[in-house]
Amino acid sequence: MSPQTQDTAVEDTTAHSTLTTVKAICTYGQCRYDHERGAKGYPLFRAALVGYALGLMTTIVVMNWFDAAQPALLYIVPGVLLSTMGVAAARGEVKQLLLYDENGDADAADATEAKKTE
């Protein structure tokens, strides 16, 4: 294996590891948010997974269309963010989602926000 090919393989492995980590963090965070809010069917988690799948499919289509490598995160991040925020907007939970803290629950964030407005 030539040094250039070896460097490319290392970069590909690093990119794949980073992508997997980002996916895990996003989907796990959505799953925890849904669980703590008592949402049946985990709607934000499912939206994040659908957004991820659509972003990945878009990456593959564009890569094959232009015969050039594409940065997967260019399509995956907007897919996950738009799908999650779209579902949160439809459910009226955008503010709670943005204020959500892993160390506490979303209701504590609601109480903090209520104190600020008083």
74 to each of 17, 46, 58, 69, 94, how far by Cα in Å? 16, 20, 10, 12, 23
Place of tokens 């399509």: 75
Fill in the amino acid letter for 65.
Answer: W
Q: Quick check: 63 and 84 in contact, CB under 8 A?
A: no
Query: Taking the domains of the chain in order of start, what are their residue ranges?
Result: 3-117
Residues in Cβ contact with 55 at an 8 Å cutoff, skipping those fewer than 6 apart: 72, 75, 76, 77, 78, 79, 80
User: Whole-angstrom distance between the N-terminal and C-terminal Cα of the chain?
Assistant: 67
Q: What is the pLDDT of residue 116?
A: 59
Q: What is the 8-class DSSP label of residue 94?
A: H
SS3 assignment, position 41: coil
pLDDT digits (tens, 9 = 90+) for 21-42: 655 666 666 777 777 777 787 8
What would the pLDDT profile of 92-107 be if each residue is shown by its tens digit? 989 988 888 877 655 5
